[in-house]
Structure 1
């Protein structure tokens, strides 16, 4: 009995001196030591862990907090970041007066020195305790109240629930500071700080030392730059909230799903980015930096200048202003900015010109609150002060004004904020264009220029190509001429020449098979590599479809359309000769688990944009208006650089200039890619191709086939699956895991939204391909998609290899060529 008592007494003494049990609470005078044991605090649900660690390759020890529910150690807070411990002798103790201290014991003297303290000690505190909460907040509790909390002292990471801003009464500031580098969490001389500036209109600023690197749009109470409060659902993962009242001015964010693991980080290289943990991919998803483009670099265009991210050059003087140094502008140097064409003279009549959809300038000053001044009062007050150069109205603070030059402005292409710039009456003629009006003007101008350039190029090319063909190509058989007509401006290659080129159509030369026949690689006598499509005699593509493809594609020239080099007819044989594509068709690589890694995110973006541009050319910019009608992964060929080229024009239809919609009694195409109005009523238009493009876009992002879902799976098709992820705000789970390391997730999620928009049931809800290209290549707003209810269920069986015709719908095989 005595032995048992002594044993338990020894155990209790040992627990006081070395507290290592995995609990979330540390009472006073108990020690959490870094002695090689698992001495940690673990939050109740094991979401976060507090303990000692060494970052990267460093041997120094720090007390920090990291995620407990992800396999790789990801530190979110460090206590002694500027006072490292050189060995594992560190210990944490909570004093009876509520002060957290970290001590380091010297090896030789055995003396413990304090290296860090929370300075939260108070004689009024009774029986405090230290708790690690499930949100990652380390708190000292005195009863039910918090005496101290780590959330008040952010490091390089902001977690959901943490604040960035100010307590206006106590003048306490919550701001982020980057680590010196990946192996050193200390505050460096040139560390980046991310903090809320409240001297004027609230705005969040990233500084390197004292130099501003980046500034968000201003917060006017209803909008943060170009985003309204209702829009601040970042990537569908979390919501940003903004607080501004007499006591506080801060922003914070919350995850929309409790299971989401995320963090906002300012890196040691000065990049603000959001990381989201993906359980499916077992890794952090590094999203696009908050600094989106070159116009987000602070002061890119100097004073009195608007930065336009899609313009070349990007800088544009405000109306009524001109370059300070035209010579510098000619050499693409804009830092000197712009000056007024006519200097202001307060004795002359003046007014204000409105500039809409912009990022308001830096260095605003609040003139009066919203209860004391109206917009008209703000204008009058600015006009009455000769030094006031501009004003704006902000719901959160009231009247904001600017004195002198206007700095760090940019143009947005969605509804943003208005600025009223002081002008002489003589400079007030004509309204200034909004960002959206400028975008429309730019888009139309670019289309006209591209069209004119393309027309000139194709005219020159067509003439010289025709002459060259007549000089060099031997017309090989009269049967082809008889069937196709002698007006055809396309080489007719002898059948025997194609037999020789393909080694008698041997299986070794076979590249693949489409719905209308196999494709073979060949080499002509002059050494040119070709791809020969040998049409099945039973394929359903008769002489009319054959002629149709030849007549259409021979008139088309675009870098994203495959080139037809020639054709041949020999008895029942009908053959088309194309340029050879080294990487065959998109489906062969995209849907192959081992080969898909060749398509990183950059290549996939290039493929998506290339296909889109090719369709814009077909629909709007070519000499004919073409509807492809069979756009799918197997009809996208890839050259040696993975550039996409649309192929297979056998089912394409040419439209007259005034024709928008056509009807057919014979519906042809591939299940899953065909639009509802085409399948159900035989109606097709440009929007039919848009639907097919949307399906293809979602396949490229996900790496999954539209018909790659089996009957025992929860979802009947890719569209059902995508929509379910969309409504659950889990779109990130759609992204192909093979591109996790290369993916820009904001771009990918933008593509998913565009894809959903393209597959809308109603034709009018789908964008044109011109709009698709604009959405892919810029930051214009994307409308909210509706649920795409049109799917094929049992008809979409990826294991089915048969060709069939039912209810006048022709189903083509989805195997690659």
Structure 2
């Protein structure tokens, strides 16, 4: 009787185990690799990467009767990132993935027919097929890490971190994305996204043979205008371009899922997985607006996007079909007004801040040995325009365009100068300029310049303080005492000679105002010249502030404005030249940062504090800078800091504590919470920015884009965490070694944390800040939680900033701190 019960129990246990296996067939093979002679059965088996983040198996798209071998995320609702047999599907799930003794990987259907296989890898000893944690399916020899074949070389519609998009000249491989046919059909669609190498490298989306989108060309430091090389806090792109290969790739932050997809509609999109909300957030889409549509304005047209897309003709050109242009039909483009452009005294007109024209092979010529690009273009009557590019080997090359200039648009970032060939009659014209769709009309801007001339013409005319302020601040809100302003006016020819005719080799920077050039006057004095770009979105209030405000400020820690020049369409500001450029040039470079010893960093911090205290309390005006950051701290030949760029500055009344604006200007990572979110700014807004700078100086790290493997805090949050744990000195820059005083370093860190506290009321004044920095005996309070201390904490309705660099104008909805 007992033996019968035991037999029944064993039978029941066996049946239960069998039933359990039957319920979960796809878990029967939860390994990441197979060897020669082994296979994966599509109906019951899968491969899972070791970190449990990717799956290889057979899937059936919703609404489709076909099945495919693919790779998808394991813990994210089915998001397929790679498809093997996209154009030769299974009719059921009985397919089988096999690998033979020679390493040949094959997908077979239920009758043994081959649906997909890899190219013959040659002789392979002990082949292994493995699904890696990156989502890459690889073939290798047992014990070797060399891949004989990998799925990353044959992308579908998705680019994952670590994948390459582009060319390998050794193998002849061209890795490109091909869209799905539709949302539920992974077969090859109509669109491709690739790096095109015929001419200058540029990203191109095509629908069959027709170009639908083009990034600007590679110019040595990046892609001109729009393109997928915009670094963010979670996305780190790179472009490799040399004699052997040209490819784009990217990395993502730790434990962050990022993917780039060419969808069935031909849109190239970047997505970021928001884990707490369980959805994919769209970081950006290309084309992003109508100006991104290839050739939207036709040949020799330039597109400007504000609320809508608008077209203008380049300098020297006019609409080919004026009637169509009046009806906003721009595709016919533009034609020359005067065709006498060969040996008739012709020259060039500069268009600034543009995405350079289509640079495919028959349109451009690249010469790496020409010094005088302008003369080279003039010597060839077929040359339409020229530009300059930085070479990977150092130095600059000359790029010349022929046949047509197409697909040009004004851009806010990564814009370049294009020099367009025009007839002599166009060079003499002062009223035939390219109209730019900016918030202020050309007429009103020129009127402003006339007004400024009347104010400053060197006649010691008195102006009221209100004339230095943006229209959003009334006369009753500013200092009422009359001021006297004297400012030298430079002759344009003098500046032209000093800058070698604004030579590209004299160009030392670029800002929202326009390019900055180094110059040398006949007396030997070195100068820096800001040149207002034709396409600049800044100009009206910024120019007025820069001239009329800074002319009344004199302090050893503020950059000195020497004078200005207005000549026809040219607007120039002349500054003292800062030999050592800006603080970020040293601070965020691995090699140059080592030259910033601790005492020099401390001197820079105190110098900035003194300059800011002068603005807030000791000058004749009470000024809020509003865009304080390390790139606006210039360094003279003795590395003394000087605060620069007062285009966004505002004046406060003596009894005024805070005001509000609808136009938030500044830079992500430096803006205080109350300013970024609500548009409220005060002296404490500058204090917050100063605190960020202090923590960046002591650590050698940027606040925005800072990552730590143990948490998701930015630099502010990381510093606060270390401080609360009693490990404040761990924040110090490793380049300093032990060559600093611990007490001084801790005091700087504590002051920085006090300045970036969430509540503006709890932040110290700059007078208190300077006292705390200069007095070892002064007792300091304990800092509270910083504002914006989380690098990524987003809800489903948040807008994630796409840039970590300057945003000269943003809306108050872009930042959300937690």
Counterpart pick for 1:683 among 656, 663, 682: 656
Does 1:250 pair with 2:250? no
Which structure 2 residues correspond to residues 371-450 of structure 1 after superposition, within 5 A?
372-374=369-371, 376=372, 378-396=373-391, 398-414=397-413, 416-429=415-428, 439=438, 441-442=440-441, 445=444
Q: Specify whether residues 356 and 139 from structure 1 end up closer, same or farther in structure 2 by C-alpha distance, changes over 3 A only.
A: same
For the residues of structure 2 that align with 1:100 and 1:721, how far apart are their CA atoms? 55
Measured against aligned partners, the alpha-carbon deviations of 1:318-365 in whole angstroms (never above 9, x if no partner) come to 111111011111111111111000014424222222222111111444
2:259 equivalent to 1:263: yes
Q: 1:724 aligns with which of 789, 794, 799?
A: 789
Q: 1:217: which partner in 2?
A: 216
Aligned equivalent of 1:33: 41
- Relative to structure 1, the CA distance from residue 421 to residue 102 in structure 2 (aligned partners, 3 Å threshold; closer, same or farther) is same
Q: Cα gap change, 1:153/1:415 in structure 2, threshold over 3 Å: closer, same or farther?
A: closer
Verify: 1:776 aligned to 2:811, yes or no. Answer: yes
2:35 pairs with 1:53: no
1:282 aligns with 2:278: yes
Query: Is the contact made by 1:164 and 1:196 (CA closer than 8 Å) also made in structure 2?
Result: yes
Structure 1: 5+ residue stretches without partners:
1-6, 106-110, 450-551, 553-615, 621-658, 663-676, 699-712, 758-770, 792-817
Q: How does 1:52-451 map to 2 (within 5 A)?
A: 52-70=58-76, 72-105=77-110, 111-122=111-122, 124-142=123-141, 143-188=144-189, 191-226=190-225, 232-234=230-232, 236-255=233-252, 257-310=253-306, 314-365=310-361, 367-370=365-368, 372-374=369-371, 376=372, 378-396=373-391, 398-414=397-413, 416-429=415-428, 439=438, 441-442=440-441, 445=444
2:341–2:422 Cα contact (<8 Å) kept: no
Cα offset, 1:775, TM superposition: 3.1
Identify if the C-alpha distance between structure 1 residues 446 and 432 changes in structure 2 by more than 3 Å, giving closer, same or farther: closer
> In the alignment, is the contact (CA less than 8 A) between 1:356 and 1:434 conserved in 2?
no
Q: Is the 8 A contact 1:357 1:434 kept in 2?
A: no
> Closer, same or farther in 2 for the Cα pair 1:718/1:168, shift >3 Å?
farther
Distance in 2 between the 1:350 and 1:749 partners?
A: 42
CA-CA distance at 1:168 after TM superposition: 2.3
Cα deviation for residue 86 of structure 1 reads 0.4
- Indicate the SS of the match to 1:173: strand
Q: Give SS of 2:323's match.
A: helix
Alpha carbons of structure 1 residues 419 and 680: separation in structure 2 relative to 1, 3 Å: closer
Q: Does the 8 Å contact 2:103/2:139 carry over to 1?
A: yes
TM-superposed CA distance for 1:253, in Å, is 1.0
Quote the offset at 1:99 in angstroms. Answer: 1.5
CA offsets 1:606-659 (integer angstroms, 9 cap, x no match): xxxxxxxxxx9xxx9xxxxxxxxxxxxxxxxxxxxxxxxxxxxxxxxxxxxxx9
SS at match of 1:178: strand
Deviation of the 1:146 alpha carbon: 0.8
SS of 2:285's partner is coil
The alpha-carbon distance between structure 1 residues 681 and 386, as it changes in their structure 2 partners (threshold 3 A), is: closer
Native 8 Å contact 1:103 1:116 kept in 2: yes
Distance 1:288 1:410 in 2: 18
> 2:165 touches 2:194 (CA, 8 Å); kept in 1?
yes
For residues 113-169 of structure 1, what are the alpha-carbon distances to aligned partners after superposition, in whole Å with 9 as ceiling and x for unaligned? 1100111331x2211111111111111012331110100011110001111111123
Once residues 93 and 203 of structure 2 are traced to their aligned partners in structure 1, the CA distance between those partners, rounded to angstroms, is 39
Aligned residue for 1:724, secondary structure, equals coil
Asked if the contact 2:365–2:401 (Cα under 8 Å) also holds between the matched residues in 1, the reply is no
CA distance in 2, matches of 1:295, 1:133: 40
1:734 is aligned to 2:797: no
3-state DSSP class of the match of 1:381?
Answer: helix
SS at match of 1:233: coil
What is the CA distance between 1:367 and its match in structure 2? Answer: 3.2
What is the rounded CA distance, in whole Å, between the counterparts of 2:309 and 2:137 in structure 1?
Answer: 50
Instruction: Give the whole-Å Cα distance in 2 for the aligned partners of 1:61 and 1:319.
Output: 56
State the TM-score, normalized to the length of structure 1.
0.54
2-structure distance, mates of 1:169, 1:431: 53
Q: 2 CA distance for matches of 1:312 and 1:278?
A: 31
Distance 1:244 1:313 in 2: 33
Deviation at 1:393, TM superposition (A): 1.8
Distance across 2 between alignment mates of 1:680 and 1:350: 54
334 and 678 in structure 1: CA distance in 2 versus 1, 3 angstrom threshold: closer
CA–CA separation in structure 2 for the residues paired with 1:115 and 1:248: 32
The CA distance in 1 between the partners of 2:805 and 2:358, in whole Å, is: 33
Shift of 1:200: 1.3
Aligned residues of 1:76 and 1:156 also touching (Cα < 8 A): yes
Q: Provide the C-alpha distance between the structure 1 equivalents of 2:139 and 2:431, rounded to a whole number of angstroms.
A: 56
**Structure 1 residues 433 and 228, CA, compared in 2 at 3 Å: closer, same or farther?**
farther
Give the 5 Å matches for 1:692-771.
694-696=676-678, 723-725=788-790, 728=791, 730=792, 733-735=793-795, 737=796, 739=797, 745-746=799-800
> Is this contact kept in 2: 1:678–1:688, CA < 8 A?
no
Give the Å deviation of 1:217: 1.6
Once the 2 structures are TM-superposed, how far is the Cα of residue 438 of structure 1 from its aligned partner? 6.6
Q: Which residue of structure 2 aligns with residue 22 of structure 1? A: 30
Q: Distance in 1 between matches of 2:271 and 2:186?
A: 18
Alignment of 1:492-641 (within 5 A): none
Larger Rg over CA atoms: 1
Instruction: Output the CA distance in 2 between the equivalents of 1:447 and 1:683.
Output: 33
Residue 314 of structure 1: SS of its match in structure 2?
Answer: strand
Verify the 8 A CA contact 2:164 2:175 in the aligned structure 1.
Answer: yes
Tell me if the contact between 1:48 and 1:65 (Cα under 8 Å) persists in the aligned partners. Answer: yes
| Contact 2:105–2:117 under 8 Å retained in 1 | yes
The secondary structure found in structure 2 opposite 1:180 is: strand
In 1, the alpha carbon distance for the partners of 2:378 and 2:107 equals 59
SS of the equivalent of 2:286 reads coil
Structure 2 unaligned residues grouped into runs of 5+: 1-13, 449-476, 478-540, 546-619, 624-649, 665-671, 681-723, 726-755, 761-784
| Structure 1 residue 413: Cα displacement | 3.1
Q: Distance in 2 between matches of 1:332 and 1:29?
A: 65
**How far apart are 1:446 and its partner, in Å?**
10
Secondary structure of the corresponding residue to residue 155 of structure 1: coil
Relative to structure 1, the CA distance from residue 63 to residue 414 in structure 2 (aligned partners, 3 Å threshold; closer, same or farther) is: closer
CA pair 54-227 structure 1, distance change in 2 beyond 3 A: closer
Measured at CA, do residues 239 and 184 of structure 1 come closer, stay the same or move farther in structure 2, by a change above 3 Å? Answer: same
User: Which SS does the other structure have where 1:379 is aligned?
Assistant: helix
Q: Distance in 1 between matches of 2:414 and 2:346?
A: 27
Deviations 1:345-396 (A, max 9, x none): 42422222222211111144453443x233x1x3333222222211222223
User: Alpha-carbon deviations, 1:773-802, whole Å to 9, x = none?
Assistant: x53399xxx9xx9x99xx9xxxxxxxxxxx
Contact 2:622 2:654 (8 Å CA) reproduced: no
Structure-2 separation of matches of 1:194 and 1:200: 17
Change (3 A) 1:367 1:138: same
SS at match of 1:179: strand
Secondary structure in structure 1 of the residue aligned to 2:186 = coil
